[in-house]
Amino acid sequence: MAKIEAAQQRLYGGVFICKTCGSKIKADPKKVADGKAKCRKCKGSALRTKKKKTGKA
């Protein structure tokens, strides 16, 4: 099955997960790299990108 680029961008583009509490945040990747984006829940700045699902079980 072909991956639709627009759908992939909506699901994974600019979506980050807080390393402390695990909440999901949509933010500009440049702000995350600069350390300016913070978690709304715990106010931490340690964020990681959302992992893409491979489709294999």
Would you say residue 31 lies in a domain? Answer: yes
26: β partners:
15
Would you say residue 30 lies in a domain? Answer: yes
Q: Is 56 left (phi over 0), alpha (psi -120 to 50) or beta?
A: beta
Mean pLDDT of 49-54: 80
Q: Which domain holds residue 33?
A: 13-42
Percentage of the chain exceeding pLDDT 90 = 54
How many domains does the chain divide into?
1
Mean pLDDT of 27-53: 90
Residue 44: pLDDT above 60? Answer: yes
Would you say residue 22 lies in a domain? Answer: yes
Would you say residue 2 lies in a domain? Answer: no
Does the pTM exceed 0.75?
no
